[in-house]
Structure 1
Amino acid sequence: MVAQVDSTNSMSKAVIPSLALQGTIQIVTGPDRRFNAAVIAQALRIAGQGTPALVVQFLKGGIGQGPDNPMYLCQGLRWVRCDVGRCLDTPHLEVEEQKAMHELWKYTRRAINSGRFGLVVLDELSLAIRFGLIPESEVVELLQQRPSYMDIILTGPEMPAALTLLADQVTELRKNQPQP
């Protein structure tokens, strides 16, 4: 059973500051380059409940992908990958790949600034920053200026300290070490 708010009530148009929802910045990080299933599950759950969600995968490519060709899941989840034919694992990109990354970052900034989404997942953002593909300072500025109700989840290994300081929650995934 899903509970929904009746938006036809005239009181719903008035925002009461003390009851306004505050979005969070969450980080999911770990030593491996793998997408956390719990993050995708959260995006699906939020979208399934009627809140628009966006997943942006910076280093995953695919044929016919990119901001102009998003995938849609469960109506409310938009999934966008970089418009390249491979997964990026190096800072050394071809000119067309650099252009595709620039377009994806530009799309991401517009999407966040539009306020259209309640949840935005920025997958492998830390590696895109480390590879020099996305300026860290622009990410910090975007996070600081996002709509206040928007939740953002950043994933990837070796998250920059400046982003960690902005986070409301940091989850570090580790492999269990066998006991002797």
Structure 2
Amino acid sequence: MLQKGCIQVYTGNGKGKTTAAVGQGVRAAGRGLKVYMVQFLKGSDSGELHSLKKLEPDFKVFRFERPRGFFWTLTDEEKLELKKDIEKGFDFCKEVVKNKECDVLIIDEMMGVLGNKLLEVNEVVEFLKSKPENMEIILTGRNVPEEILEIADLVTEMKDIKHYFNNGVPARKGIEF
């Protein structure tokens, strides 16, 4: 069990935000901490899901959404369904914190949820302020709201210096997903 839990944020336009959060979770699980990861805005299969399945029950991944396209491709009806799925996932996060179910809670793509106005920033800030003293919470995603930057203990920005996507290399199985 952690004596002092912090709020970490991995952000920026560069690659590696989820990977950094997963790496932190793997390290924590390796030291006997219980890790939960809630993934938002990610409904398709990805390599980390297969690897992390092998670490259960120490590291568990939760998803509440049905597979869909990118947010900007959704109809208004699909966006409404997605909002309900996100709210269900966030309610799960609140219960996890309230019941102290894990030592490390990773909330992947929280900034995307906020940027798409699927949750309110003040609701997430209140949630973060309610975390137990000995629980670590890790958030990922681009464009962190100022209110979250203020209460975070660690913010790491992934900066895109050079990226092979710009040279026509598509997302690759095992590397990007």
If the length of structure 1 is used for normalisation, what is the TM-score? 0.75
| Superposition deviation, residue 177 in structure 1 | 5.8
2:166 matches 1:166:
no
Match of 1:104 among 83, 89, 105: 89
Per-residue CA deviations over 1:14-61 (Å, capped at 9, x if unaligned) read xxxxxx811111111011576432221111121232211011111111
Aligned residues: 153
What residue number does 2:104 align with? 119
Kindly tell me: are residues 125 and 93 of structure 1, through their superposed partners in 2, closer, same or farther at Cα, counting changes over 3 Å?
farther
If the length of structure 2 is used for normalisation, what is the TM-score? 0.76
1:105 is paired with a residue whose SS is helix
Q: Kindly provide the amino acid, as one letter, of the partner of residue 116 in structure 1.
A: E
What residue number does 1:68 align with? none
Greater per-residue helix proportion: 2
Match of 2:38 among 43, 53, 56: 56
For structure 2, the residue ranges without an aligned partner over 5 or more in a row are 46-51, 164-177
- Paired residues of 1:117 and 1:150 also in contact (CA < 8 A): yes
Kindly tell me: are residues 121 and 173 of structure 1, through their superposed partners in 2, closer, same or farther at Cα, counting changes over 3 Å?
same
- Paired residues of 1:60 and 1:87 also in contact (CA < 8 A): no
Structure-1 separation of matches of 2:69 and 2:30: 28
Per-residue CA deviations over 1:122-161 (Å, capped at 9, x if unaligned) read 1110110111101111110011011011111111000000
- Structure-to-structure mapping, 1:89-100, within 5 angstroms: 89-90=71-72, 92=76, 94=78, 95-100=80-85
Per mean C-alpha deviation after superposition, the further-off stretch among 36-45 and 147-156 is 36-45
After superposing on structure 2, the runs of 4+ consecutive aligned residues of structure 1 that deviate more than 3 Å are 32-36, 90-93
For structure 1, the residue ranges without an aligned partner over 5 or more in a row are 6-19, 64-70
What residue number does 1:30 align with? 12
| Larger Rg belongs to | 1
Give % identity: 28
- Paired residues of 1:29 and 1:170 also in contact (CA < 8 A): yes
| Superposition deviation, residue 87 in structure 1 | 4.9
| Superposition deviation, residue 82 in structure 1 | 2.8
What residue number does 1:45 align with? 27
Match of 1:176 among 161, 164, 169: 161
Q: Which has the higher contact order (CA 8 A, sep 6+)?
A: 2
What residue number does 2:122 align with? 137
Structure-2 separation of matches of 1:111 and 1:123: 15
Kindly tell me: are residues 132 and 152 of structure 1, through their superposed partners in 2, closer, same or farther at Cα, counting changes over 3 Å?
same
| Superposition deviation, residue 99 in structure 1 | 2.2
